[in-house]
Structure 1
Amino acid sequence: MTAPSDYRHVSYLWDDEVAAGLDPVGRLVYRSNLLGQDLRITNTGGGNTSSKYMETDPLTGETVEVLWVKGSGGDLRTSKRENFSSLYMDRIRQLRAIYDAADEKGVKTAIEDEMVGKYLHCVYDLNPRASSIDTPLHAFIPAAIVDHTHPNAVIAIAAAEDGEALTAEIFGDQLGWVDWQRPGFDLGLVMGEAAEANPAMEGIMMGGHGLINWAGDDKACYDLSLDIIEKAALYIESRDKGAETFGGQKYAALGDDEREALLAALLPALRGMVSQENVFVGTVQADEAILRFVNSHDASRLAELGTSCPDHFLRTKIKPLYVDWDPKTKDVDALLGKLASGLARYRQDYADYYDTHKHPDSPAMRDPNPTVILIPGVGMIAWGKNKSESRVTAEFYNCAVEVMRGAETVSRYAALPKQEAFDIEYWLLEEAKLRRMPPEQELARSVVVVVGAGSGIGRAIAHRVAKEGAHVVCADLNAEAAQATADELTGIYGVGIGVAGTGISACGPAIGLGVDAGDRASVRALFDQTLLAYGGIDHLVVTAGYYYPPDASGQIPDEKWDTTFDVNVKGAYIVADEARRIWESQGLPGSLVIATSVNGAVAKKGSLAYDTSKAAANHLVRELAIELAPNVRVNGLAPATVVTGSSMFPRERVISGLQKYGLPFEEWEETEALRDRLAAFYAERTLTKQAILPEDQAEAAYLLMSGALAKTTGQILNVDGGLVEAFLR
């Protein structure tokens, strides 16, 4: 075994003190988490671990052997005890008789798929965690502790044309070999029989797939897993081709600034192209490893072959779209043309792939658009139904690139045969899993930019749309406040799964950015960063506003008039105008909500500049509804006196309001107490007698961008508690 300090291609993380304090299942979870933390060992959601223990039967009190194995849908890095299924080993063994009695058995037979449903009859202690398809791979290995992982270095050997011979050369009798076979009951039997026939064998190289190895206790199995991976990586390293990797470099990468500028111009149109059937969210990968691949002579050939590990191509599809574009031309229009023609060919190729390999009972063809696009000089753009999915897709193709690099270093890379790939992608068990997934949330595939998200109404809207699954760009003049809102959302909903993305594209479901809505360059920079993060924009909400309290005579300086209109009218226009180029390029449905005010319709003393600016904003909504039709709906949200939580009501404005309405106050009183007094006064003026909160406005903003009002545009929605003076007339 390699000494822990000598590992160069994996990280040795085992801590005896931590492990000693854990019960047997706790040690299984601990081992799993350590393996999952290192992406060189296994990808997100990939691989399984298991342990067989003697437990007390809760009904009979007898001692029974129980298999604990990572359940369906789990991830080694983040799994907890509840992510592991538990099954009686004697009942799993009894399934063999049912399987053997079938008239037709073997890989891809009906009885093999039927066995998955029978795992329910083997459940120990009513454990609700669904069993993985890989359960028999662990059950039939005659060892207490089993690791099944997807290490890039090992898969490189498994996916080499002469992988079996290489396995024998590198590992001798330590590892056996099984040819590619779709995971299931039959593969479990095949590997179990191989292990029993070769007692000295410590693991099996699974052709085109990955590694499975075993030992008598947790630490020994963990050490063995790392040792095998290190040995494979060192073998590949000793034959590294250096500058000739992937046939050498054909193109030079663009500089960071050039690449980001090109992506900002490219991504909206590309998102529209790939979202013809389902809207996608993107992740950009442009690190050294992916650029070395996309810029190489062999990238086109290898990309066309597709991936090997089933975990990979379930996300990356049968192959990526590689676009042979010379980055030194910097011709974005030419690149867009190549993308359009390339996508048309890809869709036809995918339809041909489906028609050629489908079975009579195959599910209907799924979205034929690629989920991975490779562009020389630029990198990789991965797509998914949400940010988390697109990051996983990018991660998996990063793994595929490393697999191809290793395989091409020691031999020639061999992808799975197309029929085998199809039978995984359109496996009825996979289809059943997809159908069991809960319905997508209303805004799950949407990117929502909220300008003014640092406080008050904007912050409440950011929270409301995030609750519906939106990816939220929290923007504010106060960048720290914007980031604080984004951090709140990430704290609630998590960063998601998948470890990929370059720069801001490595983000989760929310980001915080500073913006000056009255500065076109600042607004454009905001949208450019949004595009790099998510690939596009669907909905835009502008709540940024400005109010300058008048003096005792009701006047404000001329320059404050200018500021009032610059923020409340011109700022909203600039934001909408900059978003227009993105919406037009995408060609997808979207919406714009501008926060105006009922003051735009109610004439009164004391707020002349503000009220006039809001009247202009109301008409701006109507004009923009015409300008941005038919794809983008534009509506106004007209609050009334949202005092609580609003940055529009600093102490000076609150005091001005109290003075204006003759309400008593003392200078020493806390600001919040004064706000509550003013809010109570405003509430009494309404028909509903209720204070208007930021959350009330957020609900209306969500409604305006949702499908419920998909045919509503050019309207102003008052959320004012019933202010008679603001009634439509």
Structure 2
Amino acid sequence: MTTTTLDAATAPPPADDYLRSRWDDAVAARLDPVERLIYRSNLLGADARITNTGGGNTSSKLTATDPLTGQPTRVLWVKGSGGDLRTATKANFASLYLDQVLGLRGVYERFPTRGAKTPAEDAMVGMYPHTTFDRNPTASSIDTPLHAFIPYAHVDHMHPVAVIALATAADGPALTREVYGDDVVWTEWQRPGFELGLELERVVREHPHAKGAILGQHGLINWANDDRECYELTLDLIRRAQAYLDARGDGAPAFGGARARSLGDAERRRVLVEILPWLRGKVSADKRQIATVETRDEVVEFVSSADAPRLAELGTSCPDHFLRTKIKPLYVEWDPQTGDVDALKAKLEAGLAAYQADYADYYGACRRDDSPAMRASAPSVILVPGVGMIAFGKSKSESRVTAEFYNAAIGVMRGAERVSRYRALDRQEAFDIEYWLLEEAKLRRMPPEKALDRQVVVVVGAASGIGRALLTRLVSEGASVAAVDLHASGAEAAATAVQHKVGLGIGVAGTGISGAGQVVGLGADMTDREAVRRALEEVTLAYGGIDHVVVTAGYYPSPDAQGRVADTEWARAFAINVTGPFLVADEAWRLWKAQGLAGSLVITTSVNGVVPKAGSFAYDTSKAAANHLVRELAVAFAPTVRVNGVAPATVIEGSSMFPRDRVIASLAKYKLPHDDAESTETLRDRLAAFYAKRTLTGQAITLDSQVSAIVALVGDTFSRTTGQIVNVDGGLAEAFLR
């Protein structure tokens, strides 16, 4: 399949270029029909004003050769269950025999009762696999009939904010006629599925000149017989809705005007830094959550407005939202003018208790006999006047998407209130979507969580050596990771390398509170308490708090020709190897205490801490002090935080403490052959092999061996272990426990 670059589509165009077509005929001409569908889908998914992350679907009805008969047959290619249009590939699309899908009408009509809420409706989803074309394993979505029964070659179903504003307005049908005339037909709310597909078939039959339909409370669906025409029609219909909303603005402030003042950046940061770890602890009572903070102007305007309490209580409308944002957010009645964080915490605590009780009542009132058990009752979206929105999810990605969805909801409410009155979906309908058995089955099919999912890990010393190697492992295990090093450039480079290797989002300090991805790079001198505090504040703003801290940074002072270490070098060794880890631990302890969640601290020391030898006096004694620091911190932080040390022998691989000149000096010291023409890696390997021969196992001490030990101590493997120094040295008898 031809690869296309969509960078241009991902950046919002300027205001006077709203939703300009990104279609490139030269690119499209190189693609086969299925690839053109993917191209169209990627273009549509690249703009959040068009559809939500993971939301919306597209389809094309194409002719293909039947692998069974060798004859031409009609195939419906439609985005399958899950996946995201922006990043979709062929693997995200189901392919179905179109005539067989249409033939399912007879199966559906044989059910004694049928309709959008009946068991018959849900049972039809199980029929789609019987219509699969060419053994395609991609699961069909519940929206498949919406595409199948519309008798046009290409269909786009999107969730544009501007159109949903009309779809959620109290007088939506009249507004639809006013905006679109006969081009778009209003349909009342109906849960996606087979019945809605039949309804859209009726709409097209009775309105042969219509180009699309507004699905009440839901979104937009439109069609054409040419794929480019369908794509550009989608853009045009959204633009028309937005132009109508813009023209209806009477200059009055949105949402009834300001109810509370917006805090300045410094004051907002202070409030967030103080409440986030505490709040994360509260909402993580059942399962840990990762936070995303949104403070963009549109969000702060809403949460600080006169209408925010009323609108927040109504909740969202679009079905895509309920699994992310729940029935409604928690709005906190707090006056930011006071700046009183203790008062805010009291309001939040009371609000959380009331929200959870209300959610239990909602579940009890709406549950059906076959409803799944009640899920976690803590809110996933919290609105704080003057501050912004705090969204939670099981990962950074999930919380960012939750924030994105409520951002969209704010835009919807803004538009609906501008031209009419916003109305949310009926609570029973909302419940039936949130606890839909088909959605529950989808949740159960998801892969099990990884060992470090829901965990935030800070790695100090992340630019090289053990720290850098650790980043990839932590991210692969599901953790949200802050890579911290002396220089921000080194930390950011390490974070970028992880992003490229694992394919995840990256955040860089200074890109904004909500800019952090699953791994963020930060610069901080760990011997400077204020620098450490600022770095941990950035981590708090990025993820809501911390769970684990790993300190791998270290310093080896090289002696002069007489084997002496200068006083300044002695002081630097103790500053980096002892004082630095203490300052990191002490500052992290403030966050751990606020959260009240169990955590862990791992400090990389050295077997040199118990093995005295010539030439490394300052290094060895500083590491001995670090070993005892581990034990002291284990006592001080119990029972909330476990503290352990990993003591490597000489790890040469990737270590910043083994530059080329030190490697050559060591080879000369041990009278090992070496040549200045040889590469640094070759020389390092030779020295590592020499060190390996001195161990009981005869194996080189690798980065991976250290990383595995650290991950085991951070995770549940050693959840009952604290105050211990674990030697990972290949077996050095002289370092055995004394």
In the superposition, the TM-score normalised over structure 1's length comes to 0.97
- Aligned partner of 1:406 among 415, 423, 446: 415
Q: Which residue in the other structure is 1:423 paired with? A: 432
What's the counterpart of residue 106 of structure 1?
115
Q: What residue is the counterpart of 1:78 in the other structure?
A: 87
1:726 to 716, 726, 735: 735
Q: CA deviation at 1:675?
A: 2.8
Amino acid at match of 1:140: F
Are residue 156 (structure 1) and residue 165 (structure 2) matched?
yes
- 2:229 maps to amino acid: A
1:29 is matched with 38
User: Is 1:440 aligned to residue 449 of structure 2?
Assistant: yes
Task: Please point out which of 256, 267, 278 is paired with 1:258.
Answer: 267
Instruction: From the superposition, tell whether residues 28 and 668 of structure 1 become closer, same or farther in structure 2 (CA, over 3 Å).
Output: closer
CA distance in 1, matches of 2:232, 2:679: 63
Give the equivalent residue in structure 1 for 2:482. Answer: 473
Aligned-pair identity in percent equals: 62
* Unaligned ranges ≥5, structure 2: 1-12
Please state how far the C-alpha of 1:74 moved relative to its aligned partner: 2.1
**Contact in 1 for aligned 2:93/2:138 (Cα 8 Å):** yes
Partner residue, 1:122: 131
CA distance in 2, matches of 1:666, 1:139: 71
For residue 473 of structure 1, give the secondary structure of its aligned residue in structure 2. strand
Aligned equivalents of 1:438, 1:141: Cα separation in 2? 34
Map of 1:562 onto structure 2 = 571
Rounded to whole Å, the distance in 1 between the matches of 2:675 and 2:161 is 70
Q: Could you say what secondary structure the match of 1:147 adopts? A: strand
- Equivalent residue for 1:582? 591
Q: Name the residue aligned to 1:508.
A: 517
Shift, 1:458, TM fit:
0.9
Q: C-alpha separation between the residues in 1 aligned to 2:680 and 2:457?
A: 33
Per-residue displacement from partner, 1:71-99 (whole Å, max 9, x unpaired)? 11121111122211111111112111111
**Distance in 2 separating the partners of 1:497 and 1:666:** 41
1:172 aligns with 2:181: yes
Match of 2:389 in 1: 380
Per-residue deviation, 1:660: 4.8
Distance 1:674 1:547 in 2: 19
Deviation at 1:14, TM superposition (A): 1.6
Output aligned runs, 1:631-646, within 5 Å.
Answer: 631-646=640-655
The residue aligned with 1:224 is 233
Residue type of the alignment partner of 2:702: L
Please say if 1:340 is aligned against 2:349: yes
Matched, 1:550 2:559: yes
The residue type paired with residue 476 of structure 1 is D
Q: Which moved more, 1:144-153 or 1:459-468?
A: 459-468
Partner of 2:691: 682
Paired residue for 2:284, among 272, 275, 282?
A: 275
| Segment drifting more, 55-64 vs 277-286 | 55-64
Contact 2:499–2:506 under 8 Å retained in 1: no
Q: State the AA in 2 paired with 1:422.
A: F
Aligned partner of residue 148 in structure 1, secondary structure: strand
| Structure 1 residue 574, shift from structure 2 partner | 0.2
Counterpart position of 1:95: 104
CA displacement, residues 106-127 of structure 1 (integer Å, 9 cap, x when unaligned) = 1111111010010001011111
Determine the C-alpha separation between the residues in 2 that align with 1:242 and 1:473: 44
1:195 matched to which residue of 2? Answer: 204
Q: 1:365 to 1:572 in 2, by over 3 A?
A: same
- Match of residue 486 from structure 1: 495
Report how far residue 313 of structure 1 moved. 2.1
Contact 1:243 1:249 in 2 (8 A): no
* Cα RMSD after superposing both structures: 1.8
SS at structure 1 position matched to 2:181? helix
Letter in 2 for 1:396: F
1:613 matched to 2:613? The reply is: no
- Residue type of the partner of 2:393? G
Amino acid at match of 1:358: R
Is it true that 1:395 corresponds to 2:414 in the alignment?
A: no
Q: Does the alignment pair 1:235 with 2:272?
A: no
Q: Deviations over 1:296-353 (max 9, x none)?
A: 1001110000000011222111000111211121111111111111111111111110
Distance 1:660 1:496, change over 3 A: closer
Contact residue 23 and residue 228 of structure 2 kept, 8 A: yes
Residue 368 of structure 2 corresponds to residue 359 of structure 1: yes
CA change 1:667–1:176 in 2 (3 A) is: closer
Q: Following the alignment from structure 1 to structure 2, what is the Cα–Cα distance between the partners of residues 327 and 123?
A: 57
The 3 A distance-change label for structure 1 pair 679 and 233 is: same
Mapped partners of 1:37, 1:672: distance in 2: 43
Rounded to whole Å, the distance in 2 between the matches of 1:5 and 1:215 is 28
Shift of 1:656: 4.6
Query: 8 Å contact 2:506–2:518 — kept in the other structure?
Result: no
Number of residue equivalences: 724
Q: Distance in 1 between matches of 2:552 and 2:32?
A: 53
Does residue 284 of structure 1 match 2:293? yes
Task: Specify the alignment match of 1:708 in structure 2.
Answer: 717
> How far apart, CA to CA, are the structure 2 residues paired with 1:61 and 1:598?
70
- Pick which of 161-170 and 17-26 moved more: 17-26
In the alignment, the residues of structure 1 paired with residue 490 and residue 511 of structure 2 have an alpha-carbon distance, to the nearest angstrom, of: 24
Which residue number corresponds to residue 650 of structure 1?
A: 659
Q: TM-score, normalised by structure 2?
A: 0.96
Could you tell me how far apart the structure 2 residues matched to 1:600 and 1:242 are? 71
Match of 2:8 in 1: none
Find the aligned partners of 1:384 and 1:5 in 2 and give their Cα distance.
31
- In 2, distance between residues paired with 1:145 and 1:228? 16
CA drift of 1:661 comes to 4.1
Does 2:535 match 1:526? yes
Contact kept, 8 Å, 1:622 with 1:715, in 2: the verdict is: yes
Q: Give the distance between the partners of 2:165 and 2:528, measured in 1 at CA.
A: 51
How far off is 1:551 after superposition? 2.0
**Contact 1:549–1:656 (8 Å) recurs in 2:** no
3-state DSSP of counterpart to 1:355 = helix
Deviations 1:341-398 (A, max 9, x none): 1111111111110000000110000010111111111111111100110110011001
Residue 465 (structure 2) aligns with: 456
Report if the CA contact (8 A) 2:506-2:520 is conserved. no
Aligned partners of 2:496 and 2:506 also within 8 Å = no
Q: Could you tell me how far apart the structure 1 residues matched to 2:17 and 2:218 are?
A: 23
Q: CA deviation at 1:21?
A: 2.4
Asked if 2 retains the 8 angstrom alpha-carbon contact of 1:36 and 1:75, the reply is: yes
| C-alpha spacing 1:691/1:138, structure 2 compared with 1 (3 Å) | same
SS of structure 2 residue aligned to 1:328: coil
Supply the AA of the counterpart residue of 1:645.
Answer: G
Distance (whole Å) between structure 1 residues aligned to residue 565 and residue 69 of structure 2: 84
Paired with 1:589 and 1:106, the residues of 2 have a C-alpha distance of 49
Per the TM alignment, residue 5 of structure 1 is displaced from its structure 2 partner at its CA by 11
Q: Which runs of 5+ in 1 are unaligned?
A: none
Indicate if the aligned counterparts of 2:472 and 2:502 stay in contact, CA closer than 8 A: no
8 Å contact kept, 1:314–1:425: yes
Aligned in 2, Cα 1:651/1:233: closer, same or farther, shift over 3 Å?
A: same
Decide whether the 8 Å contact of 1:637 with 1:700 is kept in 2.
yes
For residue 282 of structure 1, give the secondary structure of its aligned residue in structure 2: strand
For 2:323 and 2:502, how far apart are their aligned partners in 1? Answer: 25
- What's the counterpart of residue 70 of structure 2? 61
CA distance in structure 1 between the aligned counterparts of 2:316 and 2:676, rounded to whole angstroms: 71
CA contact (8 A) 1:320 1:373 kept: yes
Deviations along 1:471-522, whole A, 9 cap, x unmatched? 1111111322211110111112333599xx9714222211111111100011
Letter in 2 for 1:235: Y
